[in-house]
Structure 1
């Protein structure tokens, strides 16, 4: 085994040690979230299913029923695509929690209430690590960067080097060759998907994502310019439009001089513009702010948001075609990441990537457990020579420049590695 191979193997081992538990969690929750629509429909069906009728009640009657059933502030409503589904209102309770209130659009009768978000929102919070607090989102960038390093170093280790078996197929022989082949071949076929998931998950990261947001959104490469009637403003709290997407996230328009509108007037204006259903209409608390209706679509090119004044006039109609090139690329990556852009094949491919992460993690752990010396940690021995270390750094440093938090974690790992090796050199030799 040459020194370069040993050096790359060592860092592949440490990269896996650092991030595989997190990757397994992200893969599990991400795989579940791919079926968000089906899960939500199944769980909400008992309160969301209604009997269609020839006429509908007034939207203001829907709103009155929702307010009567659930004390608090109504912040948005979901207008369903199906005729046999209730209108869903989101209500912020006095304690800050939110609940869904389902109202039959034909009778204005409340059919039931549930906690907002439900199971899939919890899965989403775990997937983004937001459930552990704002600081935990920092790990997303670190894990994604190290996942790319894992794939890059794994590709180097996989390279045949005159080996004819265990390259494209898995040897059926039980034991370490089987696990090694399973690990290598799975990584070969799924490595591209894993890198894609890591890169397209970055817009949600706390450092890289925020920096890219500022660099892209506020330039012609990102968010389209606001109409002459006003300028984009960042909404606060519940006034932020729901479902507006990454490019238009949190953006609203102010139209001074207009009184607070009524739901019926705004919904009539949205329907005149033929916005595809389902859509979410965000109801602002600021009487001068526009109401925002966002289409809940599965393909990025169908993205559309209407900014409606309280009197029913449309202040802006923003679609995917108006996004800058960088925003289009990022939005496309997000929809593909979520498994909706290319239909069922897209979802299956992303699911296979999530499964592959578990296969790689389990097979890697088994290989380590079988080869480790008894009573020792069993990390690959570091080869001597600065050139070999430079070769490894040549693989990982470009990713660390692109993802600063990954670079910082790499520096910490290097310092710890040097400290461990120094301690070993200082140990007294047993006589």
Structure 2
């Protein structure tokens, strides 16, 4: 009797299984930490109200006086950043490095009193962001998250193929709630996956733009500013991405691969092969820098990052909820000259689309409505991940992994290879891991065939 041929469905199911096995734990982690960070605007004032909230006053203490109060309170600390009050009822904030610890120090902008401090890397939102971006283990974690996001795209593509209607709507567009057991879980998984597929792709792709490997390559190809913008100033080898970290966002994504300008006469010396510059010694005041931000109408919520070397610059940056209000300004620490002032109108089309995607990803673009949409997506991700694991657990043979069987007379093998090759080219880490999984899969299949052969012969 001729063995029936198996189409691409069989292969897609197998790859969907492998992708789900790897991706599910990461999707749960990303969804949970994402929900925490999603509601940062609501959670922070509730959790840290004594640090963030102040009664509105009439006369602000100058930024330099606030800086002096912080230096007096932390004489051995390095001041890293200043965040002026966002509105009349919010505190001012300094980021300081003190004895190896990064602290957020909050002050009453009307009286200059220090309200308290917070561990900048171990508060709830910072931890959620660090886990979400790199599992709190640096570069290795970043690559794992990127790999999981790439495999998540494989999961979505293969899942949509498996879902594709084949003559019925029940269990396809809506779950059969009257069913029980594995059928119900299968419907919940398929229907949730379908309705959430497009949203999940947007979330995965917008999130991957921040990754250290794929995101950096993507920015290098698509995020290009005219050279003329940087021609009239000495440039360092340091990129603006150095101002961002796993726990703190300073400059917008569009600015990450742009060069940091250099300040003053030291810059000319360094640009012509001079020795390493010494420590920063700015001659303009912090209030001068804040005045520049206000004169140039930078949206409230901006930060001022201090220079760390004699060639460094003050950087005024706001990563705005509405990307059209993004601003990044580099200011000479000696003269107060604005060396660069980059806004939304300077971004290319891809950078604009990416910034919009990031803001949608973080639930900031359309306020509470955006937050609710992203919350629903996160809940759909959780339901899809949990239901997928339940389906696998109910289906798997006792004591075995339960990999979907693969027959070798696949008439659409070329189609599968084209799709997988396209994903491998678009996402190199996924491509490398696909080769590894394919080799392991072949070894496992060969081992199973040998085991079955031994068992049948005995």
**TM-score, normalised via structure 2 length:** 0.87
Q: Give the aligned partner of residue 123 of structure 1.
A: 128
Q: 2:131 aligned with 1:105, yes or no?
A: no
Q: Does structure 1 conserve the Cα–Cα contact (< 8 Å) formed by 2:172 and 2:190?
A: yes
**Which segment is superposed worse, 347-356 or 384-393?**
384-393
Alignment of 1:371-382 (within 5 A): 371-382=395-406
- RMSD over equivalenced CA pairs, Å: 2.4
Taking the aligned partners of 1:186 and 1:279, their CA distance within structure 2 comes to 39
Q: Which runs of 5+ in 2 are unaligned?
A: 267-281
Report the equivalent of 1:252. Answer: 260
Instruction: Show the counterpart of 1:341.
Output: 365
SS at match of 2:433: helix
- From the superposition, tell whether residues 391 and 158 of structure 1 become closer, same or farther in structure 2 (CA, over 3 Å): same
Maintained 8 Å contact 2:85/2:109:
no
Q: Which residue of 2 aligns with 1:306?
A: 329
Conservation of the 8 A alpha-carbon contact between 2:322 and 2:359: yes
Supply the distance in 2 between the matched residues of 1:199 and 1:362 (Cα, whole angstroms): 22
**Deviation readout 1:161-182 (Å, 9 max, x if unpaired):** 1234211111112222211111
Match of 1:194?
Answer: 200
Q: Give the alignment of 1:17-28 within 5 angstroms.
A: 17-28=21-32
What is the total number of aligned residue pairs between the two structures? 428
Rate the CA distance shift 1:40–1:375 in 2: closer, same or farther, 3 A: same
* Equivalence map 1:99-248=2 (5 Å): 99-117=103-121, 118-172=123-177, 173-218=179-224, 220=226, 225-226=229-230, 228-231=232-235, 234=238, 243-248=250-255
Could you tell me which runs of 5 or more consecutive residues in structure 1 were left unpaired when the two chains were aligned.
Answer: none
Residue 378 and residue 235 in structure 1: after superposition, are their counterparts in 2 closer, same or farther (change >3 A)? closer
> How far apart in 2 are the matches of 1:120 and 1:413?
35
Contact map agreement 1:27 1:354 (CA 8 A) in 2: yes
When structure 1 is superposed on structure 2, of 302-311 and 234-243 the one drifting more is: 234-243
Structure 1 position 429 matched with structure 2 position 452: no
Partner residue of 1:358? 382
* Correspondence for 2:353: 329
Residues 160, 429 of structure 1: CA spacing in aligned structure 2 closer, same or farther, 3 A cutoff? Answer: same
Which residue is equivalent to 2:67?
63
Distance 2:69 2:423 in 1: 54
Which of the residues 409, 416, 422 maps onto 2:433? 409
Is the contact between residue 99 and residue 116 of structure 1 (CA under 8 Å) also seen in structure 2? yes
For the 8 Å contact 1:232–1:251, the answer to whether it is kept is yes
**Bigger Cα displacement from structure 2, 70-79 vs 325-334:** 325-334
* SS of equivalent residue, structure 2 residue 66: helix
How far, CA to CA, are the matches of 1:240 and 1:400 in structure 2?
A: 29
Among candidates 250, 260, 275, match of residue 298 of structure 2: 275
Corresponding residue number in structure 1 for 2:270: none
Q: What is the rounded CA distance, in whole Å, between the counterparts of 1:382 and 1:415 in structure 2? A: 14
Q: Distance in 2 between matches of 1:8 and 1:226?
A: 48
Give 1:32-47 correspondences, 5 Å limit: 32-47=36-51
Q: Note the C-alpha offset of 1:237.
A: 10
Preserved contact between residue 183 and residue 363 of structure 1 (Cα < 8 Å): yes
Residue range with higher mean Cα deviation, 195-204 or 225-234 = 225-234
Query: How many angstroms apart in 1 are the aligned matches of 2:231 and 2:292?
Result: 18
* Deviation string, structure 1 residues 65-103 (Cα, Å, up to 9, x no partner): 0111223011111112221222100001132x2111111
Residues 233, 254 of structure 1: 8 Å contact kept? no
